[in-house]
């Protein structure tokens, strides 16, 4: 059986040698400059990327922009070309292979029917 005992706050030693989680986080945040923290938290990802233009020279920015544009253009061109080629190959295969498969099956059925007729006449 468990016995519950009520502890008065007056008896509790508030100056203990251990720190709580809230006290620990307070001591860490006191060491950090609050202005820097506020600026860091208020800055969006877009603002951070926009700030990179001051770091990267304009020639490199234009080179990266041209490269990204060319990659996007050739990627789009390649995807469109592959789509058109796959359409042509698929429709051509259906127009050629489907009738060929039908005729092959028909010839096979005719050969089977002839062999059955030959066997029936031989009896």
- Asked if 75 contacts 83 with a C-beta cutoff of 8 angstroms, the reply is no
**pLDDT mean by block of 10 residues, the chain; 123 residues:** 79 63 58 57 84 86 96 98 97 92 95 87 66
- The pLDDT value given to residue 78: 98
Tokens matching residue 20: 């709580």
CA distance 94 to 65: 43
Task: Specify whether the CB–CB gap between 61 and 53 falls below 8 A.
Answer: yes
For the chain, the domains span: 30-117
pTM of the model: 0.44
What pLDDT, on the 0 to 100 scale, is given for residue 85?
98
Alpha carbon 106 to its chain centroid, in Å, reads: 49
């Amino acid at each position: 059986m468990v016995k519950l005992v009520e502890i008065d706050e007056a008896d509790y030693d508030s100056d203990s040698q251990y720190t709580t989680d809230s006290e620990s986080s307070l001591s860490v945040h006191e060491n950090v400059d609050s202005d820097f923290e506020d600026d860091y938290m208020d800055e969006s990802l877009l603002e951070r990327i926009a700030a990179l233009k001051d770091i990267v020279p304009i020639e490199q920015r234009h080179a990266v922009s041209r490269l990204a544009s060319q990659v996007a253009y050739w990627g789009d061109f390649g995807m469109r070309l592959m789509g058109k080629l796959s359409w042509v190959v698929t429709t051509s295969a259906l127009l050629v292979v489907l009738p060929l498969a039908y005729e092959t099956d028909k010839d096979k059925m005719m050969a089977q029917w002839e062999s059955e007729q030959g066997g029936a006449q031989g009896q």
